[in-house]
Structure 1
Amino acid sequence: MTRKSRRLTLIASCGGVLAVAVGLILWQMSGAIVFFRSPAEVAAQGVAPGTRFRLGGLVLDGSLKRGPDQTVDFAVTDTKGTIPVQYKGLLPDLFREGQGVVAEGTLDTGGTFRADTVLAKHDESYMPREVADALKAQGRWQEGKDGKPVKAESPDTSLGKRSER
């Protein structure tokens, strides 16, 4: 075997080992990827039951129902679609109807989203980027003069204007 062929064999074997390593890393990471979807996207894409994803939108007014053993049922909406959510555990202190929420879990065969994690916005101007983008596309969320998000339903109260008495 010549020097040139040995070098070529060594480079080819190193390349093969590297390709196998990258393939194993990507295969292992594929189970850890969790996609964000709005209720309208879930309905349009026909997400298969058992698929893990993040569901984001607004908690539908009047949908919050507390059950036994810290079970909470509510619905998440983006005005084009609504998905019922069931969560067992303690909710964040700022969780309430009409506010932004991101829930992570799976969809069951009945169309109910079984959440194992629920996140609520942390102050008046915070909204997860994915939820804000989905709501902007629906026309329910707008940017204010100061660059902070403003709910489209009540632009006068969140822009800092004072009402005259």
Structure 2
Amino acid sequence: MKKVLLSLSVLFTVLIAAVSASAVEPGSSPPDFQLTDIDGTPFKLSDLKGELIILKLATTWCPTCLQQSNEFIQAAAYLKEKNIRVVEVYLQDSGKMVRAYQDKTQYGFPHYTMVDDGQALKAYNVYLIPRVILINRDFKVMRDGNILTAGQIKAEFDKLPVSPKP
């Protein structure tokens, strides 16, 4: 019995280390990537420096990814009011699959939709989907993890100091 408990303890420690090593640490800059959005427009994540960003790494076939999209819809008024940029990168999906998925998901606020060519998958060492990364105006990661409810999205961004009006 002691061997089983020891083995489980070691396995748990290794898994925790693997997951935490894969996450982007809060306060660090997110890995940059340059992709083309589903309309053919070049997009570089770092071009959004100075903006509030939600980066969602997902697939079209993942039920939890769809649930995250629904949370964005629930938070649409808040996201629009705070001018938060939502960037969705679909991993291992075709442009046709992503377009069909987006046709079912009407956000009501501006967002960016990309089909990954492998850059984001590699740069972010994706180990779970959806992966939701919150990025502040200084282009620093606030949070890197799994699904967020609309209320949690609001709570996370409401922690930030109010920026002066331009």
Scaled by the length of structure 1, the TM-score of the pair is 0.29
Which structure has the highest strand share of the two? 1
Which structure has the highest helix share of the two? 2
Larger radius of gyration: 1
